[in-house]
Amino acid sequence: MRASSPLLILAAAAVVAAPVMADKKDKLQNARPPVFEALVNCRSITDPQERLACYDAKVTAMDDAEKNDELVLADKETMKEARRGLFGFTLPKLRLFGDGNEEEGEDEITAKIDSAYQTGAGKWTIVLEDGARWAQIDDKAINKEPAKGMEVKIRKATMGSFFANIAGQRAMRMKRVN
């Protein structure tokens, strides 16, 4: 019974610590940048002149933070474009691209091929116009070789892979490599 006591203590500590760690992680993910929070807090000042002075000071601090790359500002369209550029990568769930209440991201993209080549094993690698590189991971042959300017539709498949239909041909299984 004594040999299992340290294990029981460790398990109990993990059970007690789990909610605390989850709460801390949630607070970190949902926290506003301090420079923005300071600006928002100016609203609570009742005296108009003091409130204006607060806003002026905090907007200046926020502008300085943005200019020094300490604060990044992005609109929804910019975030959507960034998510599209990362299509095919597995990323941790961060508030980097929104508050987490938005769509998970796209399930498929349509793009144009910039270049394509076959490896020694006869598998295709395609490079999209945005620089994304995709490599074939199955052995399926296609009738028409991929070429610059062809349209490719890439959609999520199972187990982290994707299906790519090049110029409307049957799908081949691919993965993102850069």
Task: Return the pLDDT at 74.
Answer: 79
pLDDT given at position 79 = 75
pTM exceeds cut of 0.75: no
The residues facing 174 across adjacent strands are 136, 162
Q: How far is CA 34 from CA 62, 65, 93, in A?
A: 10, 11, 21
Q: Is 172 in contact with 142 (CB distance < 8 Å)? A: yes
- The pLDDT, as a whole number, for residue 18 is 52
Cβ-Cβ contacts under 8 Å for 145 (sequence gap 6 or more): 116
Can you point out the beta strands (E) in 85-142? Answer: 108-118, 124-128, 133-136
Give pLDDT < 50 ranges for the chain.
1, 4, 7-8, 10-11, 20, 22, 24-25, 27-29, 97, 100-103
Looking at residue 86, its pLDDT comes to 72
Q: Return the pLDDT at 7.
A: 47
